[in-house]
Structure 1
Amino acid sequence: MSPSRIPRRGLLVIDMQHGLFNGTRRPYRADEVLANINALIGRAHAAGAPVFAARHVGPAGTPLASDSPLSQLLAELAIDPARDTVFEKTRPNCFFNTGLAERLAKAGVEELVIVGMKTDFCVDTTSRVARDLGFAAMLVADAHTTTDSPVLEAQRIVDHHNATLGGAFVSLVASADCTFAADGLG
């Protein structure tokens, strides 16, 4: 029996940076989400799958300026800048003026695995746009997070987005069940 083919997957880590993760309001399940993302990065690295990390930046002189400590990736994040592609974005859409679609195509990525922050902004927008651009997308249900909003608790936001995005825009998977195989064989 021949092995089943899985799509070549790439991992997209969204906005796991100091200003968002270590702000005045702690993200929902922060430590668990960070551990899950690091495990996924480790699996992607072991399989030779491409890893991309987005940093949300703002104009010079703002708290999220490109050179601000708040816009830097978490030191605890397992991203390896020598190996992984780290890029900046200025909108919730990781594809807008970033070259991400071209980088994914060049790397042969057929399915984009999405994790990170914030569920209700950049994770949501990027999940929806990926499908519009022709990329299959997989949202790791326990590897994205947000903070409480003025009207909803973060847990409800995450649960709502998993239910809303799942099926229509992404396939949902638990981090423990997400695998990578650079050669497409699993």
Structure 2
Amino acid sequence: MYALLILDVQVGLVHGPEKPWRCDALLETVNALMDKARSAGASIFIARHVGPVGSPIEPGSPLTRVAQELKLLGGEVVFEKRRLNAFEKTDLAENLRNCGATGVVITGMKTQYCIDSTCRAARDLGFDAVLVADGHTCSDTPVMNAENIIAHHNATLDGPFCQLVKAAQWRF
């Protein structure tokens, strides 16, 4: 059984100064995945990244709120994380096991940080990791544009760290 894990689709990233590549498409994809998960009775976990007190993303900051574009219906498990890896210093692994999940479908932001780290950690913790190839994004960097960052991570993570799937093809 798989659970859906949505990483960092929050106000500060969706509406921040560094616009994520194809963000509107990502939001549609994440909402469609939530619909599929609900229809299948799969659990939905939503991680919100928070930083230290005094930072723009300190606990309680409006920038850490789940982006209003996500269609939350209640019943989703929303939790805070302070590390790139959503399992590190959170109850995520325990909560996944408690709901009977043996696998986790990963989507959200940012590709080269939290998506990458969480995919790698999921397998190490014994979960079947699935990365939605068209379900994660980031912003351009001075070295590489977002489209290439995403393509690189899809190619690198597929196989050793996760199974790569297109959102339209995934069934919970």
Q: What percentage of aligned pairs have identical amino acids?
A: 49
Aligned residue type for 1:60? V
Q: Which amino acid aligns with 1:174?
A: K
Deviation of the 1:48 alpha carbon: 1.1
CA distance in 1, matches of 2:105, 2:12: 23
- 1:170 is aligned to 162
Q: TM-score, normalization: structure 1?
A: 0.90
Q: Which residue of structure 1 lines up, in the alignment, with residue 37 of structure 2?
A: 44
Match of 1:18 among 4, 11, 15: 11
Count of residues in correspondence between the two structures: 172
Structure showing greater Rg: 1
**How far apart are residue 105 of structure 1 and its match?**
0.4
Query: Which residue does 1:77 correspond to in 2?
Result: 70
Shift of 1:64: 0.5
Aligned to 1:120: 112
Q: Secondary structure at the match of 2:59?
A: coil
- In 2, Cα distance between the equivalents of 1:79 and 1:63? 24
Q: Quick one: which amino acid aligns to residue 163 of structure 2?
A: S
In the alignment, does 2:128 pair up with 1:100? no
Q: What is the deviation of 1:60? A: 2.1
Shift of 1:46: 1.4
Distance of 1:97 and 1:168 partners within structure 2 = 24
Tell me if 1:90 matches 2:97: no
Q: Please, which runs of 5 or more residues in structure 2 have no aligned partner?
A: none
Aligned to 1:36, what secondary structure does the other structure show? Answer: helix
Q: How much has 1:61 moved relative to structure 2?
A: 2.7
How large is the Cα RMSD of the aligned pairs?
0.8
Give the corresponding residue for 2:127: 135
**Could you tell me which of 59, 64, 87 is aligned with 2:57?**
64
- Secondary structure of 2:159's match? coil
Gaps of 5+ in 1: 1-7, 181-186
Q: Which residue of 2 aligns with 1:28?
A: 21
Residue matched to 1:5: none
**TM-score relative to the length of structure 2:** 0.98
